[in-house]
Structure 1
């Protein structure tokens, strides 16, 4: 069907913009944003929207976390007859100016979360290395993804309080991914669960005064990388060079004695760049983490990304993160606010991480689920 996007240049298929090049139900496109104040790191918000053209679904989430508590909003709708409008219930995302300004709004809803936010890109985006995986000859993942660092302005309300966002303090990151995405099922109430061989992964961003850093790696064993993508980035519009690409990361991680899950206390990443530079960065986790179960990552209570919940559906909940049963539900996957030291500079960002059973290091935390 024709949509307003079909008036724009950029078609890559002899069909309308709402059609893709295959019928795999796992094909999706996702917008994701998160922001946090620096240097406190005592609050984080996460916002996401998923486009599932072969399932006729668009879903979305938004959430806020402070130490010990998390608030969640989730929504879903049928794509058609409005397949390319990035709005689900009261949540809307608008790309005002590509790579520079995105507007995010959430109206009144049962979660108590409301916001009017603007993401302002300040750094050149990082285009991740290709994600391509096969299992038994079948492509299970063939996806592109890019991230960008920036700042936020606007306001956000939750739990009866209103927070004004000052762009000088409110840092953040966003990403945009598209393609066939590997299934992730960690909802123990609705098996089957995804099988994971031994692994350790970390996805990390940091913003300093005049530059930023992206680090993403996965290992099957210490030093045995199955994926590595990273880059030192500079001001939006500055010259990009391959010399700033990461070519290796070594790690030393210290963990909190957390009885309910995997929780990083600190880490040292030894980075090596394509131009031969080698330097360590030191990571210290700050008090707040948004657990991504709130946004359906891995599934929640039988609802998985892309599931058809009807013409229009909205739900909300609040979590007490000191409750052991809640921590068992939300598992490990989350956006942890961090402080990062690189030489004499201090920056802030987020970190996602997890250690799979039988990985050769970090044995003590492997009693808890990694994703």
Structure 2
């Protein structure tokens, strides 16, 4: 066993040093996610992630920016050391300046056509989301916790040689922290689970909407039949003295771009048992196809937690207009979106933020019977 500086803090949860987690499951992970936007689809839409995989011995990270028709990725991986507080991979850095309030992220120049030096300051308190648990046959495939937080960005961003002054009055975003068990690393043999294809269908909405006085966080995961794995909608007030408000059961109506599964627009309704309803019109404006190049599973040679050697940093880019249309059907996309919320009393507010969406495989509500079915062309 090897000690680290974290072992000097009274934070142990099991009879092990901090570097050893409470399960030997290979799929245990601990991850940061950030997004950063100016609110204008013509400006860069930046997404950053860093993950630690204690039982695989790996730390990895990525940054992906959508700017116009450009999809630019820088990614890195390294062998995980004993110190869990060392959140650097080559030119990448994530630094917790003040827990649950301020974080610093950096990608040094010289690795592809993207660099940044940014500080995230929270708008309000972080909010814990419901536990995500799913079992396929006897295997636990998901058992995770996550919290979410909206905030402002300050610093500098360079994309393709163009410098952007990131001002906290206009550059916004959200971040989350998640940890637990989910499929990571090299793909495992599915065994008997491969015969249960309905269980591999994946309908997903994860939206973080920022309004003036609060944020709204929405989570939906369903099987093809509409059976819920999880579903939640919360209003998270900027005032730390106000508890998050449960808004009700989530109902969704997604309209698709013809010829694919990308959302053209969506209506979300949050309905309480007494009939009180909050509704949101969602207008996805710019897609960041985070499955391409970042490790979410499309490329079999680079997946989150996969061993790439002691240290490896790569840069790559694609034209968004040239991304494989079939591969888009098998990964989520993060949309910069505008929102219009109608409250129970009829008042209306507008905001912006994240609309993450994916429907992989069959889904009865939207008429997808096969994995490659797409929305029909307009009549």
Would the TM-score normalized by the shorter structure come out above 0.5? yes
1:209-239 alpha-carbon deviations (Å, 9 max, x no partner):
1111000112225653221122100115232
In structure 2, the CA distance between the partners of 1:70 and 1:301, relative to structure 1 (3 Å rule), is: same
1:287-332 alpha-carbon deviations (Å, 9 max, x no partner):
342423332111424221111111110111011011153x444544
* Structure 1 residue corresponding to 2:223, chosen from 220, 226, 230: 220
> 1:154 and 2:116 equivalent?
no
- Structure 2 distance, partners of 1:111, 1:5, is 34
Structure 2: which 5+ runs fail to align?
188-192, 343-347, 375-379
Kindly report which structure 2 residues correspond to 1:68-87, keeping only aligned pairs within 5 A, or say none. 68-87=69-88
Please name the residue that 2:213 is paired with.
210
In structure 2, the CA distance between the partners of 1:224 and 1:14, relative to structure 1 (3 Å rule), is: closer
- Structure 1 distance, partners of 2:103, 2:239, is 15
> 1:232 and 2:231 equivalent?
no
In structure 2, the CA distance between the partners of 1:254 and 1:67, relative to structure 1 (3 Å rule), is: farther
In structure 2, the CA distance between the partners of 1:273 and 1:102, relative to structure 1 (3 Å rule), is: farther
Kindly report which structure 2 residues correspond to 1:295-310, keeping only aligned pairs within 5 A, or say none. 295-310=294-309
Please name the residue that 1:358 is paired with.
362
Q: Do the aligned residues in 1 keep the contact of 2:103 with 2:119 (CA within 8 Å)?
A: yes
Please name the residue that 2:352 is paired with.
348
- Structure 1 distance, partners of 2:270, 2:120, is 28
The alpha carbon displacement at 1:106 in A equals 0.8
In structure 2, the CA distance between the partners of 1:77 and 1:96, relative to structure 1 (3 Å rule), is: same
In structure 2, the CA distance between the partners of 1:310 and 1:221, relative to structure 1 (3 Å rule), is: closer
Please name the residue that 2:24 is paired with.
23
The alpha carbon displacement at 1:182 in A equals 3.3
- Structure 2 distance, partners of 1:368, 1:221, is 14
1:222-281 alpha-carbon deviations (Å, 9 max, x no partner):
65322112210011523215xx11431111111122x4x421111111112588631211
Q: Do the aligned residues in 2 keep the contact of 1:42 with 1:287 (CA within 8 Å)?
A: no
- Structure 2 distance, partners of 1:250, 1:104, is 36
In structure 2, the CA distance between the partners of 1:19 and 1:96, relative to structure 1 (3 Å rule), is: same
Please name the residue that 1:90 is paired with.
91
Please name the residue that 1:189 is paired with.
none
Please name the residue that 2:265 is paired with.
266
Please name the residue that 2:36 is paired with.
35
Q: Do the aligned residues in 2 keep the contact of 1:34 with 1:172 (CA within 8 Å)?
A: yes
- Structure 2 distance, partners of 1:157, 1:291, is 19
1:53-104 alpha-carbon deviations (Å, 9 max, x no partner):
1111100101111232110011000012544301111100001111110000
Q: Do the aligned residues in 2 keep the contact of 1:356 with 1:366 (CA within 8 Å)?
A: no
The alpha carbon displacement at 1:43 in A equals 2.4
1:92-139 alpha-carbon deviations (Å, 9 max, x no partner):
000111111000011123322111101111122221111122222222
- Structure 2 distance, partners of 1:215, 1:206, is 8
In structure 2, the CA distance between the partners of 1:39 and 1:71, relative to structure 1 (3 Å rule), is: closer
What is the aligned residue count? 360
Q: Do the aligned residues in 1 keep the contact of 2:226 with 2:365 (CA within 8 Å)?
A: no
In structure 2, the CA distance between the partners of 1:70 and 1:2, relative to structure 1 (3 Å rule), is: same
- Structure 2 distance, partners of 1:81, 1:222, is 44
Structure 1: which 5+ runs fail to align?
187-191
The TM-score, its normalising length taken from structure 1, stands at: 0.89
